[in-house]
Every structure is written in C-alpha cells, then in structure tokens.
Amino acid sequence: MRPISPRARALTAAAAVSVLAGAGAVAMQTEASAAAGCRVNYSVNQWSTGFTGNVTVTNLGDPISGGWNVTWTFSGNQTITQGWSATVTQSGQNVTATSPSWAGSLGTNATATFGFNANYSGTNATPSTFKLNGVACTGSVGGSPSPSNPGTSPSNPGTSPSNPGTSPSTSPSNPGNQGPKVDNPYAGAKGYVNPEWKAKADAEPGGSRVSNNPTAVWLDRIAAIEGTDNSSSNGSMGLRDHLDAAVAQGAGYIQLVIYNLPGRDCSALASNGELGPNDLPRYKSEYIDPIAAIEGDAKYKNLRIINIVEIDSLPNIVTNTSGQAGGTAMCDTMKANGGYVQGVGYALNKLGAIGNVYNYVDAAHHGWIGWDSNFGPTADIMLQAAQASGSVNNVTGFITNTANYSALQEPYIQPTVTVGGQNIRQSKWLDWNQYSDELTFAQAFRQKLVSVGFNSNIGMLIDTSRNGWGGSARPTKASTSTTVDTYVNESRIDRRIHAGNWCNQSGAGLGERPKAAPASGIDAYVWVKPPGESDGSSSLIPNDEGKGFDRMCDPTYTGNARNGNSMSGALPNAPISGAWFSAQFQQLMANAYPAL
C-alpha cells in the first residue's frame, strides 16, 4: 500500500503541478436560445520560467448539453505544454480548452475545473477576457458584470468565500450541522474505541493492555457503510452502528477512513478496491453521498467526526506513472481521467460541508515523497484536490505514515549527519532523501502546504500504530563505524530491509499511543491502521471484497524497482488486507516502543 519513490523516478520541476479536475464537473448548454452567462476564476502557481494555471468556470445560464469550451487570449509569450481535465490547445496567443468526453455537459450553477502547465518569460499577466461557448464570462447572466464577483480573479479560488465550486446546499458556510469547528478535534476529547477491534485484541494473550486505544474504522467498500448481519459470525457493524456506539460510549471523536476511490491504489494490488477506473459516478452516488447523509444526521452533531480521506491516491499519480521506476498503467489512467482529484474533491466538498466533520487528507510518508522532486508536486496536487472541492476550508489537515512503518524519530541518522567526512544522505538507506523520519517530515510538509495556499492553522496527524520498532534490536546509541552505509544501518530505528517495504513487516512494533497535540504542528499521534489487521495476503486468497494479491506481501519475493529489488520483509501466512492477523498483533506488542 505504501510504495517508495526514489528521486531517480521523481517528476521534473517543469511538471511541478500535474492534475486538476472539477468538483461536480460537467456541462454547458449550446442552444442559441438558451440564456447565457458565466463566471471564471483563474489562478496560477508560478516560478521563474513556468507556471501552473487553474481555471474554474461556472455556468450561470440555462443548462446546456453537448460539450463546452473555454477560450482566452494571453497577452505575453505564455506557451502551454500540458493540460488536464480538458483538451487544451493553443494557436499563437489564443487558447481553447474543450470539455473531456466524460464531462461534456454542465447545468445551471454547475462548475468545471481544469488546469495546465505553461512556460513564459517576462511578465505573466492574467488574461482580460474569458469566453464560454463564445459568450464572454462577466460574472452574470446576459453580459452585465457582477460587482461582487468579477469575471476573472487572480486570487486563489480555493480560498474565496464566493468560490463557485461549492453550491449553496453544501457550502462550508451552510453546514448540515451548525456550529464553529474547533482548531484541533483531538484536543480535550475522548476517542471512540471500536468494539469489533477491541474484541479481537482482547482475545489475544496480553491484548487487553492496548485494546482500549481508539482506532479508525475503515469504510473500504460500499457494503461497509451498511455493514452486514451481526447475528452471523462474519457480521460487521455499519457506519451508523459505529456512530451510535460512539455516542453511547460518550466519545468526543470518531475516526473513519474514506477509502474506495475508482481505480484505488493504482500502484499496489493488495489494496485494490471494488470500483473500476471509470466508476467515479458510482463513487459519488453510492459511496460518498450515503456517507455524507449519515454523518450529517443531527443526532451526531456533538460528536467530532474525523475523516481520513483516501489513502495513497494523490501521491500515486505524482510518483507512480509511466516513465518512473515501478510506474503502472492504472496510475496513468487515473492521472489522465482525473478520477482521483475529482473523487477526493467531491468527498471533501460533501463531507466538509457538515459542521462537526473534520477532513484529513492522506499525504504519504517521508520515504515516499521526502525527495525535493516529489515534495513540492505532492503539495501542489493536494491543493488542486482542495480547490476542486470548492474551498481549502474543507481540509482540516493531513495525515502521514498511514498503515506504514516509518519511524517517528530517528535520533542518530538525521540527514545533516556526516561520517568519515561524508554526508549520510548518500547511504543506500536514505538514497539522498531530505528526511529520515516522520516527525520532521510532517512538520516540514505542513509548512510547504501552508506556503502553497492551505490555511495556516492546518494540523498534521501521524499514524504511529506500527512504527515503534522496539525490542532488543532497537539501537540505543549511534554506531561508531566510519563507513556511511554501516553507520546508518547500525544506527537507524526503522529496521526494514528497505524503506519501500510496506506489507506486514517483520520486526515491527506498536508505536506511540494515540495522543493529542504531541508536537508543534501535529494535531495528534493516531492509530489509523488498527494493529493486527493485515496489509495483504502472503499468497493469493480468493475473496469477494476486491482484495488482490501483491507480491510485496510474499516473504519469498525478491522485490522490484520500488524497493530497490530487495526482499519484501513480509511476515508469512498473512490473510487478506483488513483481516485479523494474530501473529502480527503478537509481534507488534512484543516490539512496542514505548514498551507495554
């Protein structure tokens, strides 16, 4: 589930921002008799020789079907090199963006969002006029400009209160459950203990030592929303069951993993999902809409509902497409069709509109995007997904290390250390990464996210459920070796064979227990991956949950480009992802740090 992305396969700086799609993207009326009117928000993220443009167009007139196009004219030498979520062509200074086949109609007050990369020199002025299907976008119907909302705005559309990406019915200013949101939903609140996970943990020798810790509930398929017959041995609680139980417990917060994107986890097979790459409409109507309806029930208004949004999705289309080591055709597809950005944007929009709901977007981990070439582009695509939701206010923060094993802190192998006159970043383990642990990475990535346009009060979460690496093998001091690789391997807390290994890792232990506000910029240490739940099966196990078999979960596997062709380090005899894995749970307790 958690592939590594060495700098050798990272994106180039010229493609620093890659994908953008609309939240609720769709169409515009083409009949001449229809009332016409439109509004455009245009923003850029630029550097010395290039920029990324983000365009959101809103149809203020009658609905139109049959496709739309947005046109404008650059005033300088801007040259578009790449577009997404629309076919973007250029002739001289004139640009035309045409609707994609999957989003060719747009209703009244509906929006479409697309983006592009471009080169320039000198000045990069905002185009003065945009047209939608030949009609000038003045911000009102019939061509009269709207004083309160000009046709073009250089400001970031993700932070505009009047941003058209959010309809009045789902706007953050009109939440389903009224009331101001707190800055940190974990602070001063008791977490929900999932009784299903607790029962499994209590059934293990010594499991009661940890079974009262709050863990997340994974909604990893449509059927998980409703749950199954609890009278059977295979029964499971649904979303409403868990929310009711949280209220009964007197919990202050509950953690839910929103995890069912179309073409889910495009670079790993063990966590593939039930929806195909073109199933975005099903994702919206059969998955997100029912979740939003339940979370928005007034009976839960005093419960802080924390959503962990779509593990692995956005980082995958930054780092795991073709041309990069380990890139996959499925990641190419999901980048091209905009399904991940649109899906995440839709989820953020629908769920963020609820007054007691808090969204944390998954932001991979240091061993995936800690290289400069991945760090910035990943922050940029996070912003694009938030903008697709209508507002960055739909994002409370981000989570790192979800279901992964990266050490919280590495006291002896910080990237500034030198050994024998050589910087340890050149070691095989670090591979020139700028970060060696999750805490320093999460704090730095938070600053980057704020710098690209997120609110300054966003907080980070770190999943510490399996990154303790305690026990007798845990280093207690730095190595005395003067050889870089030997020094790093003898000094590092994380004892995986390779930082790209992610499945049921041998030797892992429970990490810090769930804790609110443990460090600067960190909202909480959390157990989002419930300890004892498998990452994937060691061999192919047929199932009806859409769970595939990934060789990275096979202890005999000798690896691939994403883990430096190293052994997988996986435990044997593992069940499918999400199923209870007793041997792993016992190992995690034995190697817990701090010790139990």
335 assigned binding-site residue: no
Cβ contact 336:284 at 8 Å? no
Which residue type occupies 551? Answer: R
Question: What is the token pair recorded at 233?
Answer: 């041995």
**Does an H or E element contain 418, and which?**
strand 418-419
494 as an active site residue: the answer is no
Residue with tokens 């740090």: 593
Degrees, nearest 5: CA angle 475-481-485: 80
Task: Tell me the C-alpha to C-alpha distance, in Å, between residue 568 and each of 1, 203, 510, 571, 573.
Answer: 13, 29, 20, 9, 14
Pairing mode, strands 69-73 and 94-98: antiparallel
Q: How far apart are the first and last CA of the chain?
A: 28
Catalytic-labelled residue, pool 431, 437, 523, 535:
535
Burial (Cβ within 10 Å: 0-12, 13-18, ≥19) of residue 99: buried
Q: Any known ligand binding at 502?
A: yes
- Catalytic hit among 312, 437, 523, 554: 312
Q: Is 197 annotated as a binding residue?
A: no
CA angle 443, 444, 449 (to 5 degrees): 100
Q: Determine contact, residues 484/431, Cβ cutoff 8 Å.
A: no
Helices and strands (H, E) in the chain, number of each type:
13, 19
Active site residue 265: yes
Structure tokens at 289: 């809409």
533 is in an annotated binding site: yes
368 has binding-site annotation:
yes
d(CA 322, CA 85): 19
- 202 given a catalytic annotation: no
Name residues whose C-beta falls within 8 Å of residue 221's C-beta, 6 or more positions apart in sequence: 260, 273, 274, 545, 546
429-453 b/e (C-beta count within 10 Å ≥ 16 → b): bbbebbbbbbbbbbbbbbebbeebb
Task: Output DSSP code: residue 11.
Answer: P
Q: Which two structure tokens, joined as six digits, stand for 284?
A: 């919206």
**Residues placed in the known binding site for substrate:** 218, 220, 365, 368, 404, 502, 529, 533
**Residues placed in the known binding site:** 218, 220, 365, 368, 404, 502, 529, 533
Hey, which residues are catalytic here? 265, 312, 535
